[in-house]
Structure 1
C-alpha cells in the first residue's frame, strides 16, 4: 500500500474517528476520577546500596514505615515486595553520616510519608574474627561441630563478640548460632560462617538426689534382731527420671545369722546409686508356737 493510499484511509471519515477518540479519552478520565483514592501503610526492610564489601554501616534501623497513596484497586493488589526502601551510601566517607531514606514504588503509587525520613549511622571498615562455639542443652550432654566459626561485620561489632552460642532444646540435629558479647548479650549485625552447628546427643544430663531407703520386709519365718542400714542414699540420673522419686525400696538377702550384705535397690530406668549400700543384719528364725 502506497503512502498516499494509507493517508487517504486514515483521513476517511476523520470527524467520526476523532469524535470516537475524544469520547474514549473523556470516559477514561471520568472513570479514573470516580475510583476512590486511598492510603496504605507498609513496614519494609531497609536495604543498603552504594557501599563496597570492605565497609559496613552500623546503627541503621532494620525496617522503616512507608505510607502510600493510590487508587483502591492498585493498593489492594499491591504486593509488599514491589515497594523497596533503601539508603544510597555512594560517596559517603567512613565515620558518622545522615542520609535520606529513598523509596521505589510501582507506577500509580505515590509516597506520602516515610518514618524515619532520614537515618543516621556510622560507616566502618569490615572486620573478621574466629569465635569459639558453645552449645547448651538443658537436659542432655551433647557433642557438636564445628568448634569455631568466623564472624564478619563492622570492626566495632567484631571486637565486641566473644563466642557463638546455640541452645538445643529438643535434640534436633542442627541449632542456629548467635554471636554474643562478654555479658552474653547478642551482637546484632554480624554474619557467622557457618551459621549453625550440627548437634549429636551423647546422653542425658545427670543430677543427684538424696532419697529415703526402705527395706523390703523379711519372710514370715525370719525375725530381724538387729538392722543397721543407711536411712537415706544418694541416687543419680536424668532430671525427668528423678522427678517424684522420694524413696527407694531395698531388697535384702534375708537368712539366719549375723552378717553384712549388699542391698539391691529398685531404681527407675537410667537411675543409679552412688557407692555400695550395705546392711548389717542379725536374723533369727521365728520359733513356732508351742
Structure 2
C-alpha cells in the first residue's frame, strides 16, 4: 500500500512538472517577436503601405494652386546651395535626416492640411514621407518627380538625364514565381511595446543616409542574382518588361495576411516600380521592419522609358515639367 501511494505521489509530481514545462513551452512559443509586434501594430494603425492612401504623392499643380494657403507647408530637403539657386515660394529648407526632429520640435504638424516634402527627383522625399507616415504624421506627401516637375532647368540633370532606354533590349517578360512564406527579420531593440519598437526603428532609419538605399540600373542588370528583385507594379507594367528574375508584387499586398512573409529575410530586396517613388515608400516600410532593402533609382524609367511613355505608364517626359516660377 505504501509503495502504491509512493508511486502515485511520484506520478502526480511528474505530471505536474511535465504540465508546467508544457505551459512554459507554450508561453515561449506564443510570445510574438519584435517583428510580429511591430507588423501587428502598423497593420492595426491604418496599414498605410497597403491602403489607398499610399503612395502619398502630390502634383506640382496642387502646390502651385496653394502657394498662398498657409495650411500648405513645403519642406525642401535639397542642399542649401540648390535651394538658394531656386525653390518654391515660401518653402523651408530642411535636411532630410533632420525632418523627424523638425516635426517634433519646430512645428505643429497638425496645424497644416498638407505638408509636402520636396527633393530633386521625388525619390528621397518619398522615402522620408514614408517614414513620417509610419511615425503617425498622416498629412505628409512628396512632390511627384520632385523639383524636376517644377522647372525645366532643374529637371535636366535629374529626370531628363536619367530617363533612358539603356537596357530596354535586356528586359524579360517571363512570369517568375513568388517564393513560399519563410523566415522574417529579427529585430533587436530590446523593447516589447510596439510604440517603443517603432520609435527606435524610425529613429534608426532617419540616421541612415538615403543614398545607401540606391541601386542604379546598370548594377542591377549586370548582377541581377545579387538581389531579390520585387517588381512593385501592376500586371500591365510587369508584363511590359522587367529585370531578369524579378517577381511581381501587386501594390497594396504587403500585409502579413498576403505577401509580406514571402519576402526573403536573408537577401537584399531590390524594389522596382516605374518611378522609384512608390518603391521609396515600400523601402521605408520594409527597412523599418528590418529587411535588407534597396530602391532601383528612377525605377523602370531608368532602363525602358520610351515604352512607359508610349503606354502612358508613368513614363517621364517633358509634359511632366510645368515651368512654374522659382524664388531665389
> Could you say which TM-score interval applies, normalised by the shorter chain?
under 0.3
Q: Give the alignment's TM-score, normalised by structure 2.
A: 0.18
Greater share of residues in helix? 2
Higher relative contact order, structure no. (Cα contacts within 8 Å, ≥ 6 residues apart): 2
Bigger proportion of residues as strand: 1
Q: TM-score, normalized by length of structure 1?
A: 0.20
Larger radius of gyration: 1
